[in-house]
């Protein structure tokens, strides 16, 4: 939490590192420290492949960190602040992306879209995600936490199966076209989901690209593009990488916006009610707070943010299919929040950095780099062929197999880390910090000389 008026050092296992600094500067140090450590690590992986490769790898890494950071912050609002155990994040992302794609898609495309401007599509996607959140929240929030988990997981699967359904695609196309054919400025074809074959998304990165290229076409730079490329071309950084970095910077600004918004919410009276709901629902409602209304509001807000993050993440690839929204995506985000410590916004960002760097991309790249530099020979086709030579003392086939199947090992590592964290450090790296509930910091109260025996005289 960004705490404006506390000079006390941060708590938590990592927080004590910077005693004496204000919490905000120690948070910044932690975030950038972690980020640059991960950068250094990845630079080693691709070192020697040229500067363009390094810059492009770091771009991809930063991109993932930023989108996971956004989603982790949104989930932290649900789970960390309010205690709503939502494991349907992928579903709400899907609603955001699909609605945006249907609103802003090309009317001549397959499936057709409505051809509205991208910003309207983005807002529409957020509103749709919030509305689905409302539908989920109204009845489900009365449930116990583990039931809510199952309901949200079920809902996200229903959403995914719906977008995957050809029958739904036909139906929504028909239904929207009957509406749009009566509205003058909309194309008559309606909008479809594309079912299992996916849908083209007008990329939110497109406008960023037009800053550098006239009409977004490569080889036709704008004055700004000319100026930037004049610096980057001689170093050997490709123009595409520069444009992609620009989009990453936009995402960084959005992430800051998320952080600012959630910090404001967390420190507001509204946020204090949320925390009280998390700690004890009964107390909050006994104090006259409409717990359910607070929950619905916060659920909708979080879902809208998840929709936006989904658009900025999956939407920027220009194409999505229902398989991009498997439940496992939700678990990634959970791991990021848990690593950082639920309830802490800074923790969510640090959790995303550590998750992407050390768990998600790191091991994959490390094993890949290992496989590139050391020749293990051809990887055996099956685990049996990989294990059998170990008996005769030859472990290289096993290593070759492990490198070839590293994506599975990354998941095993992910699961194991999740278990270890929840067993030994359930509060995460930055969780369990004291959150000042009062506007004035009460922890640094000046020592008072006891003049009267207010405590019943026990100290005298």
Partner 1 sequence: MGVTESRRLDRHTIREQAPLILVGVFGALLLVDLLFRLAGVEIALTANRSFGGSLSAQRFGGMLWNGIVIGLIIGLAGIGLSMTYSILSFANFSHGDLLTSGAFAGWAASYVVAGFGVVSVGELLFVRAGGGAPFADEIGASIVQAPLSILVGMVVAAGVTILLALAIDRIVYKPMRGRGGISLLIASIGVALALRYIIQFMFGASNRGVVDTTDVRVDIAGLSVNLHEVTLVVAAVALMLGMHFMLQRTKLGKAMRAMADNQDLALVTGIPTERIVQATWVIGGGLAGVAGYLVVLDRGTIGFNLGWFLLLLIFAAVILGGIGSIYGAIAGGLLIGITYSVSLVWIPSDFNEAAAFALMILVLLLRPEGIFSGVSTA
CB 102 within 8 A of CB 191: yes
CB of 158 to partner 1, least distance (A): 5
CB proximity list for 288: less than 8 A, separation 6 or greater = none
Which range, of 20-28, 159-167, 178-186, 285-293, touches partner 1 by CB under 8 A? 159-167
Which range, of 4-12, 65-73, 257-265, 330-338, touches partner 1 by CB under 8 A? 330-338
CB of 174 to partner 1, least distance (A): 12
Nearest CA-CA partner of 84 in 222, 277, 307: 277
Residue closer to partner 1, measured from CB, 88 or 112: 88
132 counts as binding partner 1 under rule CB under 8 A: no
Contact string (CB under 8 A) for partner 1, positions 65-84, x = contact: --------------------
As a whole number of angstroms, the distance between CA 39 and CA 36 comes to 5
Three-class SS of residue 200? Answer: strand
CB of 237 to partner 1, least distance (A): 36
Size of the site for partner 1 (CB under 8 A): 48
Residue closer to partner 1, measured from CB, 228 or 338: 338
3-state SS, 144-198, equals: CHHHHHHHHHHHHHHHHHHHCCHHHHHHHHHHHHHHHCCCCCCCCCCCCCCHHHC
145 counts as binding partner 1 under rule CB under 8 A: yes
Helical spans, DSSP H, in 214-313: 223-235, 239-267, 269-279, 281-286, 291-313
CB of 300 to partner 1, least distance (A): 18
CB of 410 to partner 1, least distance (A): 8
CB of 151 to partner 1, least distance (A): 5
CB 41 within 8 A of CB 357: yes
| DSSP label at residue 221 | B
For partner 1, the binding residue among 32, 36, 47, 147 (CB under 8 A) is 147
Nearest CA-CA partner of 11 in 347, 440, 418, 258: 347
Residue closer to partner 1, measured from CB, 144 or 378: 144
43 counts as binding partner 1 under rule CB under 8 A: no
411 counts as binding partner 1 under rule CB under 8 A: yes
């Amino acid at each position: 939490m960004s705490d404006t008026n506390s000079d006390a050092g941060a708590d938590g296992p990592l927080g004590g590192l910077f005693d004496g600094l204000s919490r905000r500067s120690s948070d910044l140090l932690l975030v950038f420290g972690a980020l640059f450590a991960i950068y250094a690590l990845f630079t080693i992986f691709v070192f020697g492949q040229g500067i363009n490769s390094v810059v492009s790898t770091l771009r991809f890494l930063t991109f993932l960190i930023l989108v996971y950071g956004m989603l982790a912050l949104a989930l932290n609002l649900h789970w960390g602040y309010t205690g709503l155990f939502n494991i349907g994040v992928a579903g709400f992302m899907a609603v955001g992306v699909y609605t945006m794609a249907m609103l802003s898609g090309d009317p001549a495309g397959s499936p057709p879209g409505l051809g509205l401007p991208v910003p309207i599509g983005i807002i529409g996607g957020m509103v749709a995600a919030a509305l689905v959140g409302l539908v989920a929240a109204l009845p489900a929030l009365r449930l116990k936490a583990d039931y809510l988990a199952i309901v949200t997981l079920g809902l996200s699967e229903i959403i995914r199966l719906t977008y995957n359904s050809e029958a739904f695609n036909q139906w929504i196309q028909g239904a929207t076209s009957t509406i749009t054919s009566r509205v003058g400025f909309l194309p008559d074809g309606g909008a479809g989901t594309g079912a299992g074959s996916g849908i083209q998304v007008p990329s939110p990165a497109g406008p960023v690209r037009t800053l550098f290229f006239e009409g977004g076409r490569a080889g036709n730079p704008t004055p700004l593009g000319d100026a930037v490329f004049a610096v980057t071309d001689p170093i050997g950084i490709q123009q595409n990488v520069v444009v992609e970095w620009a989009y990453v910077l936009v995402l960084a600004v959005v992430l800051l916006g998320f952080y600012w918004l959630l910090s404001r919410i967390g420190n507001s009276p509204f946020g204090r009610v949320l925390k009280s709901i998390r700690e004890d629902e009964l107390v909050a409602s006994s104090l006259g707070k409409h717990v359910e209304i607070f929950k619905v509001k916060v659920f909708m807000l979080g879902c809208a943010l998840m929709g936006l993050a989904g658009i900025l993440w999956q939407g920027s690839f220009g194409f999505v299919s229902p398989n991009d929204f498997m439940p496992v995506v939700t678990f990634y985000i959970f791991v990021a929040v848990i690593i950082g410590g639920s309830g802490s916004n800074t923790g969510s960002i640090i959790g995303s950095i550590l998750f992407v760097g050390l768990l998600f991309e790191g091991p994959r790249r490390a094993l890949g780099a290992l496989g590139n530099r050391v020749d293990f020979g051809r990887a055996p086709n099956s685990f049996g062929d990989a294990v059998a030579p170990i008996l005769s003392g030859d472990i290289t086939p096993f290593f070759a197999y492990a490198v070839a199947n590293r994506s599975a090992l990354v998941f095993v590592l992910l699961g194991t880390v999740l278990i270890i964290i929840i067993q030994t450090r359930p509060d995460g790296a930055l969780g369990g910090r004291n959150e000042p509930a009062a506007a004035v910091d009460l922890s640094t109260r000046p020592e008072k000389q006891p003049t009267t025996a207010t405590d019943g005289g026990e100290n005298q």
